[in-house]
Amino acid sequence: MALACLLTGSAHAAPGLLIGVADDTLKWSDKPTAQRALGYTRDLGIRAVRVTVPWQPGQTRLSVLDRQPVDRMILATWGGGLRVVLAVYGKAGDAPQTSQERSDYCSFVASLLHRYPGVSDVVIWNEPNSSRFWRPQFTPDGTSLAPAAYEALLARCWDVLHAVRPTVNVIAASAPRGNDNPAASSNVSHSPVNFYLKLGEAYRSSGRRSPIFDTVGHNPYPVTNAERPWIRHPTTPTIAEGDYEKLMAVLREAFDGTGQPLPGEGKVSIWYMEQGFQTTIPADKASLYRGTESISQTLPPFFTRVAAGLTTGPAPDQATQLSDALQIAYCQPAVGAFFNFELMDEPVLGGWQSGLLWADMTPKPSYEPFKEAVRRVAAGKVDCALYAKLSAESSPDIGFTAPARKRMTSGAVQ
């Protein structure tokens, strides 16, 4: 019943849910292409774009080569009302591990705030609970390492960046899944449940009284491309979009009673930094793409024999998945932003084809349904009671009880 109470009645995200895209197109586009992309964002009602900025050990400011594409992107958005969010990270093996590396990295991010005074939102690294983006995750003897290292990075950057700009939004990052297994054959990682719990342990052990983040930036991808976004995973440490209650409970356990405010307290909130559903490629667009598709469960952009707005049964198409995911985010009280990954498809099939535009920048059939969902969110015309019902029916509402936590963390290393 707890989740149903959270998602019904007047309980919903704060007015003005920030809707954005995570896409680097504006960094690499010429002026006409950039203007075309911006036209689509305005038409869709998108108000923010998250772009990546690369970092290398020893860097304390943007190199000349890296400066040019970021400058291009900032100039493209100038005067367009598009909020720019910078996600700063490097190769997994270059994740800051020492005091000097943390100082260099945070100085680098601070230099971005100096160079781009209109930017106030920065994501500290990307999915640090995954070895794809942060290594090592564990010490050679299997002891957890990444959460404490990331806590030290967040703490350093929070202090440095707030000294530069008190209103800066320091965004922590996390992936939706992890195996908690230092001996895994692939993807050695921390689950988000254990990652946040150990992040809290490191924070408490440090004796720190100031916050380490202003926003929780989570990537709530479902377990499969076709899994409905309201599905909960009560007995595993996965945190997908339907696991909002679990995420809140984990954060409470990690930080309650400390100097780190929780989402919903003050200006702290949860931002879904990446959510997306990959589509099949029709024959008339196949020449735009190359390579081999990396997943087996791609969806049609829009299944014309299914009524728009369908919210029951298996996932019929990208339009329904994405529209539902956006509206669910609106219904979750502490969620302040939702970013689709991406605006435009990547032409390499081994990448992501989850955009609202084909690789030639023409709209997919999912474009208009998503635009309509954005309008419903803006008008507050979302049936949160229905989504609460669907979520409750997807799995038992066991909450984050001690037995449930034991099952979720039973394979975790110390």
What is the model's pLDDT at position 305?
Answer: 46
**Which amino acid appears at position 198 of this protein?**
K
Q: Which CATH superfamily is domain 2-409 in?
A: Glycosidases (3.20.20.80)
Q: Which single residue is written with the structure tokens 């939004």?
A: 169
What is the model's pLDDT at position 302?
Answer: 83
Question: How far, rounded to the nearest angstrom, does the alpha carbon of residue 9 sit from its chain's CA centroid?
Answer: 26
404/216 Cα distance (integer angstroms): 23
177/196 Cα distance (integer angstroms): 12
User: HEC profile for 133-165?
Assistant: CCCCCECCCCCECHHHHHHHHHHHHHHHHHHHC
b vs e for 154-171, b when ≥16 Cβ sit within 10 Å of the residue's Cβ? Answer: bbbbbebbbeeeeebbbb
SS3 54: strand
Which segments in the chain show pLDDT lower than 70? 1-16, 303-314, 396-414
What is the model's pLDDT at position 395?
Answer: 75
Q: Mean pLDDT of all residues in the chain?
A: 90
What is the model's pLDDT at position 6?
Answer: 40
115/155 Cα distance (integer angstroms): 22
Q: Which single residue is written with the structure tokens 């994740």?
A: 95
Q: What H or E segment, with its residue span, contains residue 21?
A: strand 18-22
What is the model's pLDDT at position 10?
Answer: 38
Prior bond of 136 cis (ω within 30°):
yes
SS3 91: coil
Task: Copy the structure tokens of residue 41.
Answer: 């964002």
Task: Copy the structure tokens of residue 146.
Answer: 């990444």
Q: Which single residue is written with the structure tokens 């910078």?
A: 86
